[in-house]
Amino acid sequence: MAEGAPVWITRARPGAEATADRVRALGFTPIIDPLLAVEALDVEIDLDHVAALAFTSANGVDAFARLHDARHLPVFAVGRATARAAESVGFPSVSSADGDVEDLARLVVGAAGGPVLWAGAKEPAGDLVGLLRDCGVMAHGVAVYETVERGPSETTLAAATTVLLHSPRAARALARILTSRPTPNLRCLCLSKAVAAPLAGLVEPGSVAVAPRPDESAMLELLTA
pLDDT recorded at residue 201: 83
Do 6-35+151-224 and 39-147 show the same overall fold? yes
- Look up the CATH number of domain 6-35+151-224: 3.40.50.10090
Q: Which fold has domain 39-147?
A: Rossmann fold (3.40.50)
Q: What is the mean pLDDT of residues 205-223?
A: 91
DSSP string, 160-225: -SEEEE-SHHHHHHHHHHHHHS--TT-EEEESSHHHHGGGTTTS-TT-EEE-SSSSHHHHHHGGG-
pLDDT 10s digits, 157-178: 999 899 999 989 899 999 999 9
Residue 219 has pLDDT above 80, yes or no: yes
3-state secondary structure of 145: strand
Q: What percentage of the chain reaches a pLDDT higher than 90? A: 78
Residue 205 has pLDDT above 80, yes or no: no
Q: Where are the domains of the chain?
A: 6-35+151-224, 39-147
Residue 26 has pLDDT above 90, yes or no: yes
